[in-house]
Amino acid sequence: MLIMKSLINPSISSPLHYSKPNSRNPKPLKTHQLCCFRKNGEVNGLSKPTSQMESGGHDNAEMSQKQSLSSNVEPEMKHNDIWGLFREAQQNILYLNKQRLRAVEELNKANQEKQLLLDKILQFEAENHGGSGKDKLSICWELLHRIDSMVFTGLINAGEASDLRKLVLDYKVSVADVFTDTLQKRDAELLAELRHFSNGSKKSGYHIIHICTEMEPFVSVGSLASYVSGLSCALQRKGHLVEVILPKYASLDLDGVQGLREIEAESYSYFNGQLHGNKIWTGVFSGIGVTFIQPLYYSSFFSRERVYGYSDDFERFAYFSRASLDYILKSGKQPDVLHIHNWETAIVGPLFWDIFVKQCLEHPDKLALCGLDPVRLHRPDRLQDNNKTHLVNILKGGLVYSNKAVIMSSIYSKGRIVRSLGHGLESTLAVHQDKLLVAPNGFENSTWDPSNDKFLPENFCAEDLKGKTVCKVSLQQQLGLSKNASTILVGCIFSDLSDVVENVKAVVRDASMKGIQFIFMGNRALASFQEELKDGNVRFIDSHDDALSHLIFAGSDIMLCQSFHDPVLQVPQKALKYGAAPIAVNPDDIGFRHFVDFDRGTSKFSQFISSTFGNMFLSQALDEIKNNPSNWKRRIMDAMTQDFSWDAECCDIHVSAYSALENL
């Protein structure tokens, strides 16, 4: 037993290593001899063999016991040490794995930020290609603004300015190529270059000037801002030259304006019996020429906290309207179309015909502030209000004095507007109905297109809807909803819910009990509802998030709408494009079944929505998704192929209005 343990434990077997066999006796040593060697190798004397044997036996037993204990303890200690090292290694591996996952998440986040930055750079380069970061249309606009400046400084007269401007418009493609490197020259040198220029391609579009009080992204209060920018970009893409004149509000965000510069000479305009100076600022935004008028004497008109809502709003916008026309006249511009908007600039109509066509000025009362004769205009067939006959209605004046009038309505027909939706101007609309056109609102299709939307984890189109499923799961994951592509998801993006908030609550309570998921964004009117409804299937986002709003449209099966006439957010039109059915909170409440009478002036959007989703309640839509999924999918795919952007019906109707002016 001792030898066996010695053989497996070198520390115990080492005494055996020093033992020497007796040269006379080749037999192995007996066990008791293991502890009887002297240092010199001789054996002890045998005078007391018994005591020696007893002593040897006792020593040998003690030694054996120690060796046995040692041999049992050491493997156990080693075994514990090994497990301790193993557990420590496991903990280190888990820690390193957590660190690796964290590093991967940070890397993914960095890659996403990098991709967004690259996308912005690519977009910026695409918008500003050529000409040292400027596209050809921007170069043309810089030339046109330089011509305006030459007129104001007296370098050329209005007649020559008109000829040079026509030269740029007629040959804008070649002009941009030739004058890319000459824009840094002085006016006199640039004028010499322009006078010698005689090569290029003929223009085919209209020169359109919008006189308005809002435009995205500079100033936005209501739907007018997105309408002006959306329509202008659409017209520009179709070959027309578009210019926008705005007041220079103190709160303007002008970061996106290319080549913003002040014309060195003042522009004077008539107001309250005198001429007053204005500063004129010009620039280019998205290929559109923008001009800002800044009053000097009446500097407080547009340096206020709000855009509208002051007791002198008439004076403020009458001043701006008159200053806009004076600027156009002084600069020698001869646009094909003057496009005015809402009551704030409607006075441009009578101003143009009574002042700038006839060139006469008269001065009593409020209309006299900008040179109009209230006695001549305060008549039933002109500006006299139809109900409060002691007042003038500026919007009525714009309608009476315009050649064409476009009414923005996505759902109402022309006949319905003339008969009962004219806000007190029904009789005037009836008299002038031949000049009326109805156009639907649109959306910016360069930004809202699921096939190339940079905010989506995977793009999709009507022919391939796989990416929409990816977007839904990504949206569910991001908002902590149960991830299930087969769960019906309803998106809700509202600008105002004050009229239908109780209906929305009832709809959500009923549907969420059936496992339907809801996502609300951008309306604080539902904050109390969030407290009332403790439901894992409902999420509320108080503030607007651009990237998340794109994902909501892409991931939703249905978009709940307050109305199909949504000029601010354009939810119904965007929903159709992203394969989400627009469903009204309550079709009966908003009376959609009476919107479409298919008479003259009904928009294609109105006709399409009434024949598909317009008369559906949410419960009906949910039933069809569950019970007839193939038919529902065909509806969605058909809707996605429709084009209800600014570039489509809305732009076409406006161009038809501009074209009709040529025959007047």
291-350 pLDDT, tens digit per residue, is: 999 999 999 999 998 999 999 999 999 999 999 999 998 888 888 899 999 889 988 888
Angle, CA of 180, 181 and 187, to the nearest 5°? 100
Query: Which helix H or strand E contains 559, and what residues bound it?
Result: strand 558-561
Q: What is the residue whose two structure tokens read 């006949």? A: 415
Alpha-carbon span 403 to 96, nearest angstrom: 75
Q: In this predicted model, which residue has the larger pLDDT, 387 or 455?
A: 455
Closest CA to 334 of 160, 197, 142, 166: 166
Is 60 exceeded by the pLDDT of residue 45?
no
Alpha-carbon span 603 to 595, nearest angstrom: 11
Question: Could you give the residue ranges of the DSSP H alpha helices within 491-600?
Answer: 501-512, 527-532, 546-555, 571-577, 587-590
Per the structure block, which two tokens stand in for 384? 């006299």
Is 80 exceeded by the pLDDT of residue 663?
no
Angle, CA of 398, 400 and 406, to the nearest 5°? 65
Amino acid at 592: F
Alpha-carbon span 660 to 664, nearest angstrom: 7
| Contact call for residues 491 and 553 (beta carbons, < 8 A) | yes
Query: Which helix H or strand E contains 303, and what residues bound it?
Result: none
Mean pLDDT of 536-564: 90
Annotate 538-553 with DSSP letters as a single string.
EEEE-S--HHHHHHHH
Mean pLDDT of the chain: 78
pLDDT band at 622 (very low <50, low <70, confident <90, very high): very high
Mean pLDDT of 525-532: 68
Annotate 152-200 with DSSP letters as a single string.
HTTSS-HHHHHHHHHHHHHTHHHHHHHSTTTTTS-HHHHHHHHHT----
| Contact call for residues 437 and 399 (beta carbons, < 8 A) | no
Phi, psi (degrees; rounded to nearest 5) at 645: -80, 175
Give 159's contacts (C-beta < 8 A, 6+ positions apart).
332
Is 80 exceeded by the pLDDT of residue 120?
no
Alpha-carbon span 548 to 527, nearest angstrom: 19
Least reliable range by pLDDT among 130-139, 161-170, 506-515:
130-139
Q: In this predicted model, which residue has the larger pLDDT, 322 or 157?
A: 322
Alpha-carbon span 192 to 277, nearest angstrom: 30
Closest CA to 316 of 374, 361, 368, 369: 369
**Partners of 288 in beta bridges:** 285
| Contact call for residues 398 and 347 (beta carbons, < 8 A) | yes
Per the structure block, which two tokens stand in for 527? 């904050």
| Contact call for residues 247 and 218 (beta carbons, < 8 A) | no
- Give how far Cα 52 sits from Cα of 32, 58, 60, Å: 10, 10, 12
Closest CA to 261 of 280, 244, 246: 280
Closest CA to 286 of 337, 246, 229: 229
Q: In this predicted model, which residue has the larger pLDDT, 286 or 265?
A: 286
Count of all residues that appear for the chain in the document: 664
Alpha-carbon span 241 to 239, nearest angstrom: 7
| Contact call for residues 517 and 487 (beta carbons, < 8 A) | yes
* pLDDT confidence of residue 588: 56
Give yes or no for a cis peptide into 217 (omega within 30° of 0): yes
Q: In this predicted model, which residue has the larger pLDDT, 598 or 100?
A: 100
**Partners of 293 in beta bridges:** 247, 280
Phi, psi (degrees; rounded to nearest 5) at 456: -95, 145
Phi, psi (degrees; rounded to nearest 5) at 577: -65, -35
Q: In this predicted model, which residue has the larger pLDDT, 11 or 205?
A: 205
* pLDDT confidence of residue 8: 30
Q: What is the residue whose two structure tokens read 């003042």? A: 266
Percentages (nearest 5) of helix, strand, coil residues in the chain:
50, 15, 35
Phi, psi (degrees; rounded to nearest 5) at 198: -155, 50
Give 559's contacts (C-beta < 8 A, 6+ positions apart).
490, 491, 492, 493, 553, 571, 572, 574, 575, 580, 581, 582, 583
Is 50 exceeded by the pLDDT of residue 276?
yes
| Contact call for residues 210 and 244 (beta carbons, < 8 A) | yes
Closest CA to 561 of 514, 621, 602: 621
> Taking each helix axis from N to C terminus, what angle separates 651-661 and 223-237, rounded to the nearest 10 degrees?
70
% the chain with pLDDT above 70: 75
* pLDDT confidence of residue 557: 96
Q: In this predicted model, which residue has the larger pLDDT, 395 or 586?
A: 395
Q: What is the residue whose two structure tokens read 């009507």? A: 462
Q: Which of 77-91, 121-135, 401-415 has the highest mean pLDDT?
A: 401-415
pLDDT band at 410 (very low <50, low <70, confident <90, very high): confident
Is 80 exceeded by the pLDDT of residue 190?
no
| Contact call for residues 237 and 281 (beta carbons, < 8 A) | no
Query: Which helix H or strand E contains 374, and what residues bound it?
Result: helix 374-377
pLDDT band at 625 (very low <50, low <70, confident <90, very high): very high
